[in-house]
Amino acid sequence: MTTQQHATWTTAHAGLTGIRAAGDRAILVELPSLDAVLSLQAQLTAHPQPGQTDVIAASRTVLITAESPQAVQALAAYVRSLDLDAPAETESTLVTIDVVYDGEDLDEVAALTGLDPEGVVAAHAGQLWTAAFAGFAPGFAYLTGQDSRLEVPRRRSPRTAVPAGAVALGGAYSAVYPRQSPGGWQLIGRTDAAMWDLGRDSPALIRPGDTVRFNAIRAQASVTHREQASTSKNPVGEHPTEGLVVRKPGLQSTIQDLGRPGFAALGVSSAGAMDRGALRRANRLVGNGEDAAGMELLFGGLELVALSDQVLAVTGAAVPLEITPPEEERSPEEQRTTAGRHPVCDAPFALLAGEKLTVGKPTAGLRSYVGVRGGLGGPEALGSRSTDTMSGIGPEPLQASTILSVRTPKPGSVVGHPEMSPLPDQDVATVLRVVPGPRQDWFSPETLQNFLSQEWTVTPQSNRIGLRLNGLALTRSRDGELASEGTVRGAVQVPPEGQPVLFLSDHPVTGGYPVIAVVVHADLDKAAQLPPGTAVRFTAAAPPAELPETPKESSHA
C-alpha cells in the first residue's frame, strides 16, 4: 500500500483527469470541469452498464459503484470511450428559502472571511445560488455561488449532530441539512423548509440545476418532519391475531433488509443490514429469500411475543435465547419458577402463539439478526424496508407495543440446516484488510505505515453510520481542502484532527475528508460486530486489478 502502487491506478484520458480505484467495487473518475461531471453522470444514468449500481456526481469527480470487481473493470473501460464534451441537459426552477441567520459558526465565518456577521448574511442572501449536484444525505444539495469571499474551510472536527434545517458553508459551497446528521460544515443559519419529503412527487425540494435564493428573516424557524408509517402500534379497539408484537425493544432494534442501492445520486445511501452475511444466514435458516426483511438488534435486549405460530432464527452476535409460555397460562408462582425453552443461535426454531422470545446480551459480537419465516411486512420506501438512521428513510426503530406483520412464506420454501459463522475474537485486535484509498496521496509514506502498524480502538461514538476510531493521530502531507466527492461503504476517512472514521451502512454518500484506504467488501461484516473498546488493525490486501490502460491514441503525454 504505497504511493507508487497507487499511482499505477491513476490514468489520463482525453476529457478525463484520471481514474482512481475506490475499494474493490468502485472507481472515482476525476474530471476537468463540472460540465464534464454532469455530462458523465447524465450518460451513465441514461445508459446504465451491466453491474452498475450508483453514480455520484461531485464538483470534479464522479464515483461509480458496481456489483463486482469485474464490473468495475468494464465500467472503467466504458467511461474512457465516452465523449464528455456533450453538455448535460437539466431543468431549472427558482427555489426561495427563508433563513434565520443565527448559526453557531457565524462569528467564525466572519473572522475567516474578513467580513462582520452582517456582511456574511448580506453576501449569502444577496446572490443567486445554483444546485450543482446532490449528495451527503437525501435533500442535501451542493449550491455554488458567485461570491468567492464566502469560501471557508470545514471544521477541523465534524459535529456528531448538526440540527435539521441548518444552513451551512463548506469550501466553495452552501447547503441546507435536511435532517439531524453528522457534519463538518460551518453553520450560519437555519430554516424550516422541508428539504426532503417522500410524500411529494419530487422528494427533494432542490434538484440539480435549480436556482436558489436565500431570504433573511427574523422569525423563529423549526423543522418538522413527515411521519413515515412503516410499523404500527395496536390501534384502540383492535386486537391483532397475526404476526409478532414487541414487548421490549432493547437498546436499538430496527427492521433491515439488504438495503436500497441505486439512489445515491439523490443522497440516499444503501443502508441495510450492517452484518449482511448474518441477515442472509437468518433468512436461509427460516426458508426466506436472502433479501427478506428481518430485525437487527444492538446489544440484544429484545422481547417478542408471537400473535400466531412463527418460525424464527437468530444469527450474528452470540446471545442467550429463552422462550417462555404465555403468562396467562401460568400462576404467579409458575411465572417465577418455570424455566423456558432455550433454542440456540444459527438454527431455526418455533415460536408458538402466545410464547415470548427473550434475546439476552451478547457474549461475543455486537449485532444480532432475527429472521422470521415469510419475512417482515410493511410499506417499502424506495424499494426497501430498511431503517436508514442517517437519512430517516424507512421505519422508525422498534418500540414497545410495535406490531410486526409477517408475510406469507413462498410456496415450496423449506427451513435450512443449522450453520455457523465465526465472530471476531474481542480479546485480540480484529484485522481488516484494506486497499489504497483514492486519496492515499494526501498522506506521507510514514503516515501510511503508521496507519497500518498501530492498533485502533473503537469508540462509543460509533454507530450505523461508521466506526469512529481512536489512536495516534494521522497527519496529512498536503494543505488545503478536498472538494466533496462520493464515498463508499468501507471507506476510511481522515478528518483534520487525524482520528479515522470507517464508513458503514448508513454513511453519507459524499464527504469532504480524504479517504486513506477502503476496507475490502468481504471484511465489512466483521466491522459490524465490533463493540466499543475493541481493537482494530488494518492490513494491506492485494490491490484491485489494475485498471485497463487508456488507448495510446486517446492519451495525453
Question: Can you give the CATH number for the domain in which 467 is found?
Answer: 2.40.100.10
Note whether 476 and 528 are same-domain residues. Answer: yes
Task: Judge whether 179 lies within some domain.
Answer: yes
Last residue of a domain, one of 404, 421, 449: 404
User: Nearest 5°: phi and psi at 71?
Assistant: -65, -35
Note whether 258 and 112 are same-domain residues. Answer: no
Note whether 173 and 208 are same-domain residues. Answer: yes
Task: Judge whether 535 lies within some domain.
Answer: yes
Note whether 255 and 333 are same-domain residues. Answer: yes
Domain residue limits at 480: 430-540
Count CB atoms within 10 A of the CB of residue 269: 31
Note whether 310 and 393 are same-domain residues. Answer: yes
CA pair distance 275, 458, nearest whole angstrom: 17
CA pair distance 180, 104, nearest whole angstrom: 15
Task: Judge whether 412 lies within some domain.
Answer: no
Task: Judge whether 133 lies within some domain.
Answer: yes
Beta bridge partners of residue 97, listed in sequence order: 214
The count of domains in the chain is: 3
Last residue of a domain, one of 194, 217, 240: 217
Note whether 270 and 373 are same-domain residues. Answer: yes
Task: Judge whether 304 lies within some domain.
Answer: yes
- What pTM did the predictor assign? 0.82
The letter for the amino acid at 349 is F
Note whether 270 and 293 are same-domain residues. Answer: yes
pLDDT at 293 (0 to 100): 98
Task: Judge whether 35 lies within some domain.
Answer: no
DSSP for residue 553: G
pLDDT at 401 (0 to 100): 95
In 3D space, the residue among 372, 246, 401, 402 whose CA is nearest the CA of residue 309 turns out to be: 372
pLDDT at 242 (0 to 100): 84
pLDDT at 549 (0 to 100): 45
Q: Which residues contact 455 (CB under 8 A, 6 or more apart)?
A: 429, 471, 535, 536, 537
* pLDDT tens series, the chain, 557 aa: 553 444 334 444 556 889 999 999 999 999 998 889 988 988 998 899 999 999 999 889 999 999 999 999 999 999 999 988 877 666 789 999 999 999 999 999 999 999 999 999 999 999 999 898 888 788 999 999 999 999 999 898 889 899 999 999 998 899 999 988 888 899 999 999 999 998 888 889 998 878 999 999 986 656 555 444 444 444 433 445 589 999 999 999 999 999 999 988 888 899 999 999 999 999 999 999 999 999 999 999 999 999 999 999 999 999 999 999 997 666 666 566 556 899 999 999 999 999 999 999 999 999 999 999 999 999 999 999 999 988 889 999 999 999 999 999 999 889 988 888 888 888 899 999 999 999 999 999 999 999 999 999 999 999 999 999 999 999 999 987 788 899 999 999 999 999 999 999 999 888 889 999 999 999 999 999 999 999 999 999 976 555 544 333 333 32
Q: And the C-alpha cell for 345?
A: 443461535
Task: Judge whether 250 lies within some domain.
Answer: yes
Helix H or strand E encompassing 536: strand 535-540
DSSP for residue 171: B
DSSP-assigned states of every residue in 245-265: EEEE--SEEEEE-S--TT-GG
- The gap from C-alpha 14 to its chain's centroid, in whole angstroms, comes to 33
pLDDT at 545 (0 to 100): 56
Last residue of a domain, one of 217, 251, 276: 217
Note whether 306 and 396 are same-domain residues. Answer: yes
Note whether 263 and 381 are same-domain residues. Answer: yes
Note whether 485 and 390 are same-domain residues. Answer: no
Helices marked H in 400-505 — which ranges? Answer: 445-453
Count CB atoms within 10 A of the CB of residue 499: 18
pLDDT at 232 (0 to 100): 47
Task: Judge whether 120 lies within some domain.
Answer: yes
pLDDT at 86 (0 to 100): 72
Note whether 268 and 387 are same-domain residues. Answer: yes
62 with 16: CB under 8 angstroms? no
Note whether 253 and 395 are same-domain residues. Answer: yes
